[in-house]
């Protein structure tokens, strides 16, 4: 058996990637510290999320199916009424928030909040790190070491992903972004394995389970992300056109796995699951948003929040992609199409799930921009291009860190 800890697996690229992810974790921890050290009262949506998860972990019902009185001294969210079902998500986020508090020996009251309020942020910080590692792995496989480092640097100093991973005055939508990214690129990876002359379904069972888990995380976090199911099938059939029947079987198997996991989020309570599914809004899209110019301005604002460097990088890479045929291959085109489709779905969903689509689109755009920039860095002007890219990344890092230091306490 070959050794696992080799230079190929743990070399210089992995070391720098680990440093960037450590910097990302430090920024998230600083943001959480700035909020909790201000002794601000817990926000209503966070109190309800933790309270509902606490309820389900202790066998007092299913989180959000239906809602009950949160077990925390905080103002109730006026949009959540006792006895109603959550139409936007499964119990996954509630369970994730309350999981670190499962063994807490006392009641979750404000008197002891200073000791436990940071614990519910840990799972979402872990999701942020996992998404960053997944992004680096995919970008490196598609674009090489330089592309992987560009994508990971943009991600690790993205204000939107730092905020989402720290759950700082926002819903922790990092889970849906991770699930969406994992779904698409796991489907692509599974499709590539279909070219190998082996028993398809049995040999791919690990990737099938991984695809099902990714789908379950995305759809369980926000029901409208059920659109990822046909998107995954489209990639399976496109990437492996010679074995479409096998791709269809794999897609069905992964869908069954994801449905089973979604049922597991309800702790296999059929009545709660049926009630939640009957109230779930899987498609709340509307075309009215495409006719309002202010919506497109809001999209630009969201992209600027997600990555300040997008102001320069995204138009540049789109222009290069349009003019230079060398960049128009699947590794760039696939992420670009998925990113723009998720942005369009964000415009079509004006409520909470719209923000989830915007956030989920950004990692795909990171892969696209890093791929085009990596191609430019292989031209005869590589020295100039590399200097410009490094300068832009350094400016982006400095801007994000400076804004982070200006965050008020509380």
Taking residues 88-99, what's their average pLDDT?
Answer: 91
* Residue percentage of the chain with pLDDT more than 70: 87
Query: What does the radius of gyration of the chain's CA atoms come to, in whole angstroms?
Result: 22
Band the pLDDT of 74: cuts 50, 70, 90. very low
How far the first Cα of the chain sits from its last, in Å, is 53
Q: Is the pLDDT of residue 56 over 60?
A: yes
pLDDT at 355: 81
Band the pLDDT of 285: cuts 50, 70, 90. confident
Question: CA 321 to CA 372: how far, in whole Å?
Answer: 7
Q: Is the pLDDT of residue 292 over 90?
A: no
Taking residues 233-251, what's their average pLDDT?
Answer: 89
Band the pLDDT of 376: cuts 50, 70, 90. very high
Instruction: Calculate the alpha carbon distances from 184 to 195, 199, 336, 364 in Å.
Output: 18, 23, 12, 10
Question: CA 209 to CA 211: how far, in whole Å?
Answer: 5
pLDDT at 197: 65
Six token digits for residue 79: 């949009």
156 exposure class (CB count in 10 Å sphere: 0-12, 13-18, 19+): buried
35-44, 70-79, 232-241: lowest mean pLDDT where? 70-79
- What is the CA 249 to chain-centroid distance, rounded? 26
Band the pLDDT of 78: cuts 50, 70, 90. very low
pLDDT at 118: 84
CB distance 117 to 110 below 8 Å: no
Taking residues 201-214, what's their average pLDDT?
Answer: 83
Which candidate, 270, 193, 182, places its Cα nearest to that of 231? Answer: 182
pLDDT at 300: 86
What global pTM score does this model have?
A: 0.91
Band the pLDDT of 284: cuts 50, 70, 90. confident
| Triad 80, 63, 40: Cα angle to 5° | 60
Taking residues 376-393, what's their average pLDDT?
Answer: 91
The overall average pLDDT reported for the chain is 86
Band the pLDDT of 1: cuts 50, 70, 90. very low
* Residue percentage of the chain with pLDDT more than 90: 53
Taking residues 110-121, what's their average pLDDT?
Answer: 74
pLDDT at 289: 73
Taking residues 283-294, what's their average pLDDT?
Answer: 77
Band the pLDDT of 369: cuts 50, 70, 90. very high
- Helices 352-376 + 310-323 axis angle, to 10: 60
Question: CA 53 to CA 335: how far, in whole Å?
Answer: 34
Band the pLDDT of 12: cuts 50, 70, 90. confident
Q: Is the pLDDT of residue 80 over 90?
A: no
Q: Helix (H, G, I), strand (E, B), or coil: what is residue 256?
A: helix
Question: Over the stretch 303-351, which tens digit does the pLDDT of each residue have?
Answer: 888 899 888 899 999 999 999 999 999 999 999 999 999 999 988 887 6
Q: Is the pLDDT of residue 223 over 80?
A: yes
CB distance 216 to 257 below 8 Å: yes
Band the pLDDT of 112: cuts 50, 70, 90. low
Q: Which residues contact 349 (CB under 8 A, 6 or more apart)?
A: 224, 284, 285, 286, 357
Main-chain phi, psi angles of 255, to 5 degrees: -65, -40
Q: Is the pLDDT of residue 200 over 60?
A: no
110-124, 221-235, 374-388: lowest mean pLDDT where? 110-124
CB distance 221 to 175 below 8 Å: yes
Beta-carbon count within 10 A of 288 CB: 11
| Triad 108, 113, 117: Cα angle to 5° | 95
């Amino acid at each position: 058996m070959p050794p696992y800890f080799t230079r190929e697996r743990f070399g210089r690229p992995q070391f720098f990637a680990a440093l960037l992810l450590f910097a990302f974790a430090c920024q998230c921890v600083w943001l959480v510290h700035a909020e909790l050290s201000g002794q601000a009262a817990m926000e209503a949506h966070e109190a309800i999320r933790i309270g509902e998860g606490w309820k389900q972990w202790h066998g007092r019902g299913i989180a959000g199916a239906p809602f009950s009185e949160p077990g925390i001294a905080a103002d109730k969210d006026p949009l959540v009424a006792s006895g109603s079902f959550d139409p936007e998500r499964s119990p996954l986020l509630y369970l994730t928030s309350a999981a670190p508090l499962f063994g807490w020996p006392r009641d979750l009251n404000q008197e002891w909040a200073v000791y436990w309020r940071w614990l519910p942020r840990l799972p979402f910080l872990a999701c942020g790190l996992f998404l960053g590692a997944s992004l680096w792995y995919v970008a490196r496989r598609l674009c090489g070491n330089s592309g992987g480092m560009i994508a990971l640097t943009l991600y690790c100093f993205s204000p939107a992903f730092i905020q989402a991973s720290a759950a700082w005055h926002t819903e922790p939508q990092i889970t849906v972004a991770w699930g969406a990214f994992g779904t698409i690129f796991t489907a692509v990876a599974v499709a590539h394995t279909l070219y190998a002359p082996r028993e398809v379904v049995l040999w791919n069972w690990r990737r099938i389970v991984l695809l099902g888990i990714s789908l379950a995380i995305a759809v369980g976090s926000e029901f409208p992300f059920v659109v990822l199911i046909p998107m995954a099938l489209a990639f399976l059939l496109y990437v492996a056109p010679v074995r479409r029947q096998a791709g269809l079987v794999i897609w069905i198997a992964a869908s069954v796995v994801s449905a089973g996991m979604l049922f597991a989020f309800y702790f296999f309570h059929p009545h709660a699951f049926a009630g939640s599914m009957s109230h779930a809004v899987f498609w709340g899209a509307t075309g009215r948003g495409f006719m309002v110019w202010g919506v497109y301005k809001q999209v630009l604002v969201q992209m600027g929040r997600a990555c300040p460097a997008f102001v320069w990088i995204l138009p540049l890479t789109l222009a290069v992609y349009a003019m230079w045929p060398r960049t128009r291959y699947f590794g760039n085109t696939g992420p670009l199409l998925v990113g723009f489709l998720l942005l369009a779905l964000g415009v079509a969903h004006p409520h909470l799930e719209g923000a989830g689509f915007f956030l989920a689109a950004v990692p795909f755009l990171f892969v696209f921009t890093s791929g085009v920039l990596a191609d430019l860095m292989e031209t005869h002007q590589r020295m100039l291009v590399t200097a410009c890219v490094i300068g832009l990344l350094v400016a982006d890092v400095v801007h994000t860190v400076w804004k982070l230091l200006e965050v008020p306490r509380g």
